[in-house]
Amino acid sequence: MKEYSNKLSIKQWAEDDRPREKLLGKGRLALSNAELIAILINSGSTDESAVDLSKRILASTQDNLIELSRLSIADLCTFKGIGPARAVVITAALELGRRRRESEALQKKTISCSRDAFEVMQSSLADINYEEFWILLLNRANQVIRKVNISEGGFSGTVADPKKIFKIALENSASGIILCHNHPSGNLKPSDADIQLTRKLKEAGAHLDLPILDHLIIGDEKYISFADDALL
């Protein structure tokens, strides 16, 4: 793509370099993240083009779409040229992408390794700024029955009630449970509280013939598995 002055309207660009025309002529893979966002916001301002505005927004998140998805409507509106209507469009597009990932993950319903569980849970936990605790309920064939949000907390912790976890598992006739929570900081090292809770739930599950099969800690695109790391 040619470099243009940010004073130059996109309508004055060469046709092949305009985001919409480029998508039509070369396909969606030919566009950068900034060009795709420029299509969403439709136009820039007298000071900069839609592409330059999009680049500025992306630069604030180090060009990381996961970090971009964590921005609120109010956060997006702090950028000159982005009002509530444009912020809503960007947020809706990112949410559609998240739901697409979730739909793809749920098509693979048999859990044979920690990676399978991660792929099912990632879309629910990867893009949020506070801790949540979820459980993944499996039948005897290790197929997913459902995933359940147990609790929401703050940036550094959340509470998981063992009684609630096993009550839900029993109500759904589960044969196994995978525990899962996120660390918004990206530091995946289990805390002492994480380890103690896992041991407590494992002991309770053994008495109820409802084994705790794993505990995943998720951060962005990565995870750790208690089972893989011999912590279970």
- pLDDT tens digits for range 145-193: 989 999 987 655 678 899 999 999 999 999 999 999 999 888 899 999 9
Predicted structure pTM score: 0.60
Task: Count CB atoms within 10 A of the CB of residue 49.
Answer: 24
With a pLDDT cut of 70, the percent of the chain lying above it is 88
pLDDT in tens, 216-231: 999 877 999 999 999 9
Residues 6 or more apart whose Cβ sits within 8 Å of residue 228: 114, 214
* Spans of all domains in the chain: 10-100, 108-225
CATH architecture type of domain 108-225: 3-Layer(aba) Sandwich (3.40)
Instruction: Please answer whether residues 181 and 214 qualify as being in contact, where contact means their C-beta atoms are separated by less than 8 angstroms.
Output: no
pLDDT in tens, 84-133: 999 999 999 988 887 777 666 565 588 999 999 998 998 788 778 889 99
Q: Which helix (H) or strand (E) holds 149?
A: strand 144-152
